[in-house]
């Protein structure tokens, strides 16, 4: 095939030297296949790319990450990051004919790659929500991980919770915990007398009847959602619940105020001050 053929409408370049027909979708899996096509034997998709394919949430990363054996060549190409593994009994799976790090292994790979404690917890929550791994499997892998970041991975794995709906909810829970406040229950459900599902809350202190809810932007931009939220909160307030609503600008621009608001609510509901001491370690992860 000539260069003229490849540059025509029938083909599309995925990476330098790698082309597909125009009918092939331009998505993450196809770019991962292309990277493996020109990689050393034994290579597999890893790190951010593997996490995304498994349904995990990580900080934005457009490059494809692959890992090759220690004695394999590192064929560097624009848009591809090549890692090498040493003394690692890799846990590699196959998804849609792609060799890929297991969910637990890519969690630990990203710890080695410097992902923060909070971002690792967000990743763990999202992988568990995608039903591709359990928190126990993350803990087991992290505790035996030989690479850098093993301590952070082990700590983050123990902070992963099932049932979290979104990264902001995970980050809000982590802010509360790292600040030293009691950990709220995730997705607490109130049921009708017959046991049917009635209401579900993001974060909750059931014994104190305190709700902590994260409102995404759609809660403000959708009038019907806004009206439903108001009606729901008025109903809960009549039942005696105290509701603390946290929005995006609160969490990302004024985290200290978030911690203070939640602490005051706990104190108002009778929690001893000894259990509401704010620790400064949250600042390293959430400094505005």
pTM for the structure as a whole: 0.89
Q: Is residue 288 within 8 Å of 252, Cβ to Cβ?
A: yes
Tell me how far apart the alpha carbons of residues 267 and 276 are, in angstroms, rounded to a whole number: 7
- The answer to whether residue 87 scores a pLDDT higher than 60 is no
Question: How high is the pLDDT of residue 288?
Answer: 54
Tokens encoding 200: 């579900």
> pLDDT, tens digit, for every residue of 210-253?
999 998 755 455 667 777 778 888 888 888 999 999 999 999 99
94 closest CA partner among 130, 37, 140, 54: 54
Question: How high is the pLDDT of residue 222?
Answer: 64
**DSSP secondary structure, 90-139, as one string:** --EEEETTEEEE-HHHHHHHHHHTT--HHHHHHHHHHHHHTTS--HHHHH
The sheet carrying 92-95 orders its strands as 80-85, 64-69, 44-45, 98-101, 92-95
Tell me how far apart the alpha carbons of residues 40 and 42 are, in angstroms, rounded to a whole number: 6
Question: How high is the pLDDT of residue 4?
Answer: 76
Question: How high is the pLDDT of residue 260?
Answer: 95
DSSP strands (E only) in the chain? 11-15, 18-21, 44-45, 64-69, 80-85, 92-95, 98-101, 185-191, 197-205, 210-215, 242-247
Question: How high is the pLDDT of residue 152?
Answer: 96
Tell me how far apart the alpha carbons of residues 41 and 19 are, in angstroms, rounded to a whole number: 20
Q: Is residue 129 within 8 Å of 162, Cβ to Cβ?
A: yes
Residue range(s) in the chain whose domain bears CATH number 3.40.960.10: 167-286
Predicted confidence band of residue 76 (pLDDT cuts 50, 70, 90): confident
Tokens encoding 137: 């499997």
- The answer to whether residue 88 scores a pLDDT higher than 70 is no
Residues β-bridged to residue 190: 199
Q: Averaged over 109-120, what is the pLDDT?
A: 95
Tokens encoding 131: 């039903």
Q: Averaged over 253-269, what is the pLDDT?
A: 95
- The answer to whether residue 111 scores a pLDDT higher than 70 is yes
Q: Does domain 167-286 have CATH number 3.40.960.10?
A: yes
């Amino acid at each position: 095939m000539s260069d003229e053929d490849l540059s025509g409408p029938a083909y599309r370049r995925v990476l330098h030297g790698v082309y597909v027909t125009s009918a092939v979708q331009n998505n993450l899996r196809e770019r991962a296949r292309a990277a493996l096509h020109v990689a050393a034997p034994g290579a597999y998709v890893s790190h951010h790319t593997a996490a995304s394919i498994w349904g995990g949430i990580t900080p934005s990363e457009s490059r494809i990450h692959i890992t090759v054996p220690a004695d394999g060549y590192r064929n560097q190409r624009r848009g591809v990051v090549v890692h090498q593994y040493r003394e690692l009994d890799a846990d590699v799976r196959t998804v849609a004919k792609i060799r890929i790090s297991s969910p637990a292994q890519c969690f630990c790979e990203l710890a080695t790659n410097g992902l923060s404690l909070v971002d690792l917890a967000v990743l763990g929550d999202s992988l568990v929500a995608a039903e591709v791994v359990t928190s126990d499997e993350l803990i087991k892998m992290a505790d035996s991980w030989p690479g850098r970041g093993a301590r952070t991975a082990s700590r983050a794995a123990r902070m992963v919770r099932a049932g979290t709906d979104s990264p902001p909810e995970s980050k809000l829970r982590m802010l509360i915990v790292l600040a030293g406040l009691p950990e709220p229950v995730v997705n607490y459900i109130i049921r009708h007398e017959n046991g049917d599902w009635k209401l579900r809350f993001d974060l909750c202190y059931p014994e104190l009847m305190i709700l902590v809810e994260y409102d995404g932007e759609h809660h403000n931009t959708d009038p019907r959602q806004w009206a439903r939220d108001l009606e729901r909160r008025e109903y809960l307030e009549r039942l005696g619940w105290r509701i603390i609503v946290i929005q995006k600008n609160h969490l990302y621009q004024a985290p200290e105020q978030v911690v203070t608001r939640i602490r005051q609510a706990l104190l108002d509901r009778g929690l001893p001050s000894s259990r509401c001491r704010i620790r400064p370690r949250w600042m390293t992860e959430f400094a505005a």
